[in-house]
Structure 1
Amino acid sequence: MKQKIEAVIFDMDGVIIDSEAIWKRAEQEVFSSVGVELSPELCEFTEAMTTAAVTQFWYERFPWKEKSLAEVENKVIERVAGLIRQEGKAIDGVERFIRKIKQQGYKIGLATNSPALLIPVVLEKLGISDYFDAIASAEHEQEGKPSPAVYLSVIEKLGLTPDACVAIEDSPSGLMAARKAGMKTIAIVNDAHAKAEFGIADLIVNHYGELDLKTENY
């Protein structure tokens, strides 16, 4: 008999908030200020990393002297937080979907590679803080996604087993993390990505309006 899905665990960036451009802007401003020469190719390579890992990545290629890695990383995080407060917008349809699944009785979690400081900034900006039963940042784990650690932390906080949870992700590394944790997976894929990249997902949708957990056959 199949395990009933009892909880939905969301990634944050690109799944709840449209923040890709915000991160790119903040990283461009902060890293270039210490002498880093960012390239589109290398920036794409760093997209799935934690902020600490991204900072280390650029330092190894363009070592700076005036500031510590922690200072530069914190400047990026502070800039992202400021831009989210000013300009942050929800991924289309996510607020309605979250309200619907909460009314249907699902528990709701959040598992992100982003720093813990940004989680309340995002949830408060979008007005959805009260819907979440458990949150976790990979900042507090030994490794970020594709390690399953941050998902396992949220599952534990929810008091459930992995097979009772489904993850919603927008990146192959996030899907890998969720699958390693033993969860079912849903990929939200926008036009910029080829669906072939997301073949490991149990379900692929383009928009939250296409998604109805009550009718999905897991």
Structure 2
Amino acid sequence: MIQAVIFDMDGVLIDSEPMWHQAELEVFGSLGVTICPQRQQQTVGMTTKAVTAHWYQQSPWSSMSLDEAEQAVLQHVATQIKLRGVAKKGLLPLLNRLKQAAIPTGLATNSPGFLMDTTLEKLQIRHYFNTHCSVEMVQQGKPAPDIYLLAAENLGVAPQHCLVFEDSYTGLSAAKAAGMQVIALPAVHDWHLEKFDLAELKLRCLSEFDLNQLNSNPFTVAQFSAQPA
């Protein structure tokens, strides 16, 4: 039986993935790294530190430290969120219904705390969550299960009774490693990738999720239906 719901942040609460892509293109591009869309997809869902290390290994630079490059990307994304961040379709109605149903709700993100706070303030949704977990709170970010296990512990719910919303395979892997059930929200261009079959269900957007079924029965894939985008 599902007793708590945990959300990833980027790509689930907010359509920030294009902001991350642009920030990486600008920052790493200025350092001499050539990034094509196909190669950039390899890093979706990773921590910014891991992404920075990835591109440094591909094309080392000397004009900036890895920490400085990482911070430049984060600041770029924070600025864009403040300027044009909007909630993903279906998010606010779902959060309202979870709150009305008194279902414990958590946030678990690979982003650092200041970026998590920036997003929560921009969308004005902090009050919906019973716990807010950012990457600095754990030893290892996703795909390790640490941050999801922390969120479950903070919510006082066993991992097997938690349902996670994730958009990336990295996050999906983390939640499954934590022993949780997962609803995947793949990007349109990722919908048909077999790796997302690891999730209990795929949805195009949060508005397709029916909370009434979650409240009345143990969560099973058969209770939901979604058509490919």
TM-score normalised per structure 2: 0.88
Instruction: Identify the residue that residue 89 of structure 1 maps to in structure 2.
Output: 86
Question: Are the counterparts in 2 of residues 138 and 149 from structure 1 also a CA contact under 8 Å?
Answer: no
Matches within 5 A, 1:170-181: 170-181=167-178
**One-letter identity of the residue aligned with 2:170:** S
Instruction: Identify the residue that residue 76 of structure 1 maps to in structure 2.
Output: 73
Structure 1 residue runs without a partner (length 5+): none
Taking the aligned partners of 2:33 and 2:188, their CA distance within structure 1 comes to 30
Structure 2 residue runs without a partner (length 5+): 220-229
Instruction: Identify the residue that residue 154 of structure 2 maps to in structure 1.
Output: 157
Q: Name the Cα RMSD after superposition.
A: 1.5
After superposition, the Cα gap between the structure-2 partners of 1:27 and 1:99, relative to the gap in structure 1 and judged at 3 Å, is same
After superposition, the Cα gap between the structure-2 partners of 1:191 and 1:61, relative to the gap in structure 1 and judged at 3 Å, is closer
**One-letter identity of the residue aligned with 1:129:** R
Taking the aligned partners of 2:26 and 2:123, their CA distance within structure 1 comes to 25
**One-letter identity of the residue aligned with 1:210:** E
Matches within 5 A, 1:94-173: 94-173=91-170
- Aligned residue for 2:143, secondary structure, equals coil
| Equivalent residue pairs, number | 215
Question: Are the counterparts in 2 of residues 11 and 111 from structure 1 also a CA contact under 8 Å?
Answer: yes
Instruction: Identify the residue that residue 212 of structure 2 maps to in structure 1.
Output: 214
**One-letter identity of the residue aligned with 1:124:** E
- 2:21 equivalent to 1:35: no
Q: Percent identity?
A: 44
Instruction: Identify the residue that residue 7 of structure 1 maps to in structure 2.
Output: 4
- Aligned residue for 2:82, secondary structure, equals helix
Q: 2:51 aligns with which of 48, 51, 54?
A: 54
> Which stretch shifts more, 132-141 or 146-155?
132-141
**One-letter identity of the residue aligned with 2:208:** E
After superposition, the Cα gap between the structure-2 partners of 1:68 and 1:111, relative to the gap in structure 1 and judged at 3 Å, is same
Taking the aligned partners of 2:73 and 2:170, their CA distance within structure 1 comes to 22
> Which stretch shifts more, 193-202 or 124-133?
193-202
Runs of 4+ in 1 over 4 A off after TM superposition: none
Q: Deviations over 1:178-201 (max 9, x none)?
A: 111111111123422234332121
**One-letter identity of the residue aligned with 2:160:** D
State the 1:117 CA deviation. Answer: 1.5
Q: Deviations over 1:110-147 (max 9, x none)?
A: 11112222101111111101111111123433322121
Instruction: Identify the residue that residue 197 of structure 2 maps to in structure 1.
Output: 199
Taking the aligned partners of 1:187 and 1:37, their CA distance within structure 2 comes to 30
- Aligned residue for 2:132, secondary structure, equals strand
State the 1:32 CA deviation. Answer: 1.5
State the 1:31 CA deviation. Answer: 1.1
Taking the aligned partners of 1:193 and 1:64, their CA distance within structure 2 comes to 31
- 2:61 equivalent to 1:64: yes
State the 1:24 CA deviation. Answer: 0.8
Question: Are the counterparts in 1 of residues 144 and 177 from structure 2 also a CA contact under 8 Å?
Answer: yes
Q: Deviations over 1:132-176 (max 9, x none)?
A: 111112343332212111101111111221122111111222122
**One-letter identity of the residue aligned with 2:8:** D
Taking the aligned partners of 2:6 and 2:207, their CA distance within structure 1 comes to 18
State the 1:30 CA deviation. Answer: 1.1
Q: Deviations over 1:82-126 (max 9, x none)?
A: 000001111111111111111111111011112222101111111
State the 1:204 CA deviation. Answer: 2.0
Taking the aligned partners of 2:63 and 2:73, their CA distance within structure 1 comes to 16
Instruction: Identify the residue that residue 225 of structure 2 maps to in structure 1.
Output: none
